[in-house]
Amino acid sequence: VTTSTGKVIVNQTITIDGYSAGLNQSEERPFGDDGGDGWGNSLHSWMFDAGEENRAEVAQINAASAVIMGRNMFGPVRGDWDRQWNGWWGEDPPFHAPVFVLTHHARDPQPMDGGTTYYFITEGIEAALAQARAAAGDGDISIHGGATTINQYLAASLVDELRLHIVPFTLGAGVRVFEGVPPLNLEQVAVRGASSVMHVTYRVRS
Amino acid sequence: VTTSTGKVIVNQTITIDGYSAGLNQSEERPFGDDGGDGWGNSLHSWMFDAGEENRAEVAQINAASAVIMGRNMFGPVRGDWDRQWNGWWGEDPPFHAPVFVLTHHARDPQPMDGGTTYYFITEGIEAALAQARAAAGDGDISIHGGATTINQYLAASLVDELRLHIVPFTLGAGVRVFEGVPPLNLEQVAVRGASSVMHVTYRVRS
């Protein structure tokens, strides 16, 4: 892990039992059974319903100079790219930066408005990180998720900083951050409780 | 869940990946492989090495009018009580209250110094709670752990308040809080970050 250039930061919203998505993910409900239907509270309400209170954390997420995400976070298309899926975020995505999507299926780069371009990386997590590093210059790289992608980067010791946004419910099933990752020794850098989320930043010790 | 009398409070120290004990628990190392050997940081260092900074949380844990714990938290003896094991906490335990130990093996009550008496309950979690309630009067009851016991009380909707003390490392294996518990809707009541632990209090919504 080098920090002479920007940091590699994981940003992830998780339940208090560690899940970043529920079961039954679909195009209509990208986070699956995430509590939103029954409880008026879902994984990402803190970003939207309480965006003002959590402005600093949302801004930090969107400040990355390059973004890496897994294909399941990018969209619901599986297998070949048999339809023109350009992400969940519309024509002007909030990234304003190159986004490297991990996939087993090659596809040409997809430019969007506002400075976002989606690049499709078929050579694995280290190749994606190298390209993100080249694109980010001195800026930070954000591993945006999902948990499967994050766990791969954590297991490979490629993460400098872990920013978790922990919401006050449990899901009991789904995709769990840290699952299958060897033990990590972290330094707790900052903790902030907002009204229905707590934000914690850890530095990953080498 | 009734709150006309004292509350039923769960207190538990967990890693950021949800474990309250590591693998290989033994008499010498009651929390098993809990990071203490290699990292100079273990599950409960916040209570001992940083006790002053966390005085309020430690005091709260020890303020319960009655305590419930599982047999594995009480000690390493399995099966019949073939030796006079009186807990990990010496002759004058910090509870100063009746402690109800869940077990499948009957044993006479064991009085200790300072107001602690260990009672051995063979009729299950609801019986233990009823006896703790009778003993506690208007005071609070603390479910002290371990995770297996806590998970049974959570699954049975018998907990009013959940106080987690989250330490900055992962274990990746062991006994995990919330495992097998149906989804819980919580109200985040308080968050405090200390130097190497964060304390969060949740109210369990009915």
Q: Measured between CB atoms, which of A168, A180, A200 is closest to B187?
A: A168
Contact B21, B175 (CB under 8 A): yes
Q: Measured between CB atoms, which of B185, B190, B193 is closest to A169?
A: B185
Residue of B16, B41, B167 to mutate when probing chain A, most A C-beta within 10 A: B16
Alpha carbon of A188: minimum distance to chain B alpha carbons (Å): 6
Contact B196, B44 (CB under 8 A): no
ipTM of the complex: 0.90
Which chain B residues have a beta carbon less than 8 Å from that of A32? none
Yes or no, beta carbons of B195 and A188 under 8 Å apart: yes
Helix (H) or strand (E) holding B204: strand B198-204
Predicted pLDDT of residue B32: 73
Yes or no, beta carbons of A35 and B185 under 8 Å apart: yes
Cβ contacts of residue B148 below 8 Å, gap of 6+? Answer: B70, B72, B175
Alpha carbon of A187: minimum distance to chain B alpha carbons (Å): 6
DSSP string, B127-195: HHHHHHHHHHTTS-EEEEE-HHHHHHHHHTT--SEEEEEEESB--SSSEETTTTPPP-BEEEEEEEE-S
For each successive 10 residues of chain A (206 residues), what is the average pLDDT? 77 94 75 63 81 90 95 89 91 96 96 97 98 96 95 97 96 90 95 95 92
Which of the four pLDDT bands, split at 50, 70 and 90, describes residue B21?
confident
What are the backbone dihedrals phi and psi of residue B54, each rounded to the nearest 5 degrees, phi first?
-110, 30
Helices H / strands E in chain A, number of each: 6, 11
Each residue of A32-82: pLDDT tens digit? 777 655 555 688 888 887 778 999 999 999 899 999 999 989 988 888 998
Yes or no, beta carbons of B202 and A18 under 8 Å apart: no
Amino acid type, B109: P
CA distance linking residue B1 with residue B129, whole number of Å: 11
Yes or no, beta carbons of A202 and B168 under 8 Å apart: yes
Q: Measured between CB atoms, which of A168, A183, A190 is closest to B35?
A: A183
CA distance linking residue A169 with residue B185, whole number of Å: 5
Each residue of B38-59: pLDDT tens digit? 555 688 888 887 778 999 999 9
Which of A179, A166, A146, A150 has its CA nearest to residue A32? Answer: A146
Helix (H) or strand (E) holding A166: strand A161-167
* Token pair for B85: 């094991």
Yes or no, beta carbons of B188 and A190 under 8 Å apart: no
Q: Measured between CB atoms, which of B18, B183, B187 is closest to A35?
A: B183
Each residue of B107-142: pLDDT tens digit? 999 999 999 999 999 999 999 999 999 999 999 999
Alpha carbon of B196: minimum distance to chain A alpha carbons (Å): 6
Three-state DSSP at A173 gives coil
